[in-house]
Amino acid sequence: MRAKMWIFDCANTSKRLFPTWRQLFWCYYAAVVCLLSSPVRTDDACPFSCICDRDSGTVTCREGEDTEIPEDIPVWTSSLIITGRNVSTLERGAFTANGTELEMTMLSLSYNGIQVIEPYAFLGLPRLHLLDLSHNRLMSVSDRAFHGVPELRSLYLNNSILTPAVADLSGALGTQSLRSLHRLELAGNRLSSLPLARLDIYNLHVLVLVNNSIESIGRENVTNIYQQKRLRVYLSLNPFRCSCGLESFYYWLKNSSQCPDAGHLLCSEPEAKKGTPVEQLQGEDLDCLNENLEAVSYVFLGIVLALIGVVFLMVLYLNRGGIKRWLNNIREACRDQMEVYHYRYEQDSDPRLANVAV
C-alpha cells in the first residue's frame, strides 16, 4: 500500500518537473530498485523456508533442514503452521521473539517429532485459541507446559502421546490456565483410563477418546461426566470389558445422551461377548448381584458336600464295631459258599470222568 502511494507521488512529481517519458521511466526504475534494495521491515519479513500470506495472516513452514522453531515470526501472524520438521524439544517461550507477545490465535505443530514440552513453552501467546500437537512422539510433558494460554479452546493431541508421557498428562492438563478449554482430542494414544483428574475446572463440551485402550469407566468417573451436562464424550474403538464392572457405564450410555457414538461401542471381552455392541447387552449380563449370587451358590454347594462327607465318615467311625461284625459275616458267608461249591465239584467229577472213559 505504502509503496504504491510512493510510486504514485513519484509519477505526479515527475510529470511536473520532467515531462518526458524517458525521465518518467527512470523515476519508476529508481523507485523499484529503491524498494527492492531497502532493508525490509521486520513485520513484513517471512521466516526462512516458510510461506507467508499476509492477507489471511497465515505463515506455513513445511519440512526443511531446520529443526528449530523460526525466531522471526511476523507480528501480524494469526495462524502459524509448522509441519514435518524434526523439532525434538519445545523450549520455554519457543514462540516469543525477544519477549514480545504475538496475537496469534492458531498454532499447528503436527508431525514434528516433538518429544518434550518444557514448562511455559507457549508463553507469549495470550490470544491462542487452537493448538494442534497431533502426530508427535511425546515422551515428557511438563506440568506447566500449558501455562500462559488462558484463551485456549481447542487442544488436539491425537496419536501423539507415548507411554512415558501418559502419566504426565493429567498433571499437564490439570492446570487452571486451561479453564476455557472447550474441545480436547486424545484419539489413538493407548490410554487405558480417563486422563483427567477433574472435569469441573474446564468448560469442556467435547472430549474425544476414540481408538484408545479403555476397558471400562468406573462409577466415580461416570458420575463426574454425568454432572457436566454439556459434555459429549466420544469413545468408539476402545476394547470394552463387558462384565459387571461396566454396569454404571452401561446405564450412563443408555440413559444419558452424552456419548454420540454410543452405537459403535463394542465388547472385546469376555470371549463370549466379543463384538457385541455394548448398548445391546441385557441388564442382567452386567448385574453384579447375579454374578455374586452365582459365586455364593458355588461356595454353598461346596460346603454342603463337605458336610455330607464329614457326616458319612463319622457314621463309619461310630459304627466301626458293627461294620467289623458285618464284614466278618460276609467273610463267613463267602467261606460257606466256597465250601458248598467245592463239595458240588467233587460230587460232579465222577460222572464226567466216566463219560471220558466211555
Ligand X SMILES: *[C@@H]1O[C@H](CO)[C@@H](O)[C@H](O)[C@H]1NC(C)=O
- Residues 161-200, interacting with ligand X (CB under 6 A): 185, 187-188, 190, 194, 196-199
Ranked by CB distance to ligand X, the top (closest) residue is 188
One-letter-per-residue 3-state SS of the chain: CHHHHHHHHHHHHHHHHCCCHHHHHHHHHHHHHHHHHCCCCHHHCCCCCEEEECCCCEEEECCCCCCCCCCCCCCCCCEEEECCCCCCEECCCCCCECCECCCCCEEECCCCCCCEECCCCCCCCCCCCEEECCCCCECEECCCCCCCCCCCCEEECCCCECHHHHHHHHHHHCCHHHCCCCEEECCCCCCCCCCCCCCCCCCCCEEECCCCCCCCCCHHHHHHHHHCCCCEEECCCCCEECCHHHHHHHHHHHHCCCCCCHHHCEEEECHHHCCCEHHHCCHHHHCHHHHHHHHHHHHHHHHHHHHHHHHHHHHHHHCHHHHHHHHHHHHHHHHHHHHHHHHHHHHHHHHHHHHHHC
For ligand X, which is the closer residue by CB, 27 or 281?
281
Q: Pattern of binders to ligand X over 86-115, x per CB under 6 A?
A: x-x--------xx-----------x-----
For ligand X, which is the closer residue by CB, 53 or 63?
63
Least distance (Å) from ligand X to the CB of residue 62?
15
Q: Pattern of binders to ligand X over 52-71, x per CB under 6 A?
A: ---------------x---x
Least distance (Å) from ligand X to the CB of residue 240?
16
Q: Which of 96, 105, 158, 238 touches ligand X (CB under 6 A)?
A: 158
Q: Is residue 257 involved in binding ligand X (CB under 6 A)?
A: no
Q: Is residue 159 involved in binding ligand X (CB under 6 A)?
A: yes
Least distance (Å) from ligand X to the CB of residue 190?
5
Binding site for ligand X (CB under 6 A): 67, 71-72, 86, 88, 97-98, 110, 132, 134, 156, 158-159, 185, 187-188, 190, 194, 196-199, 208, 210-211, 218, 220-221, 224, 251, 255
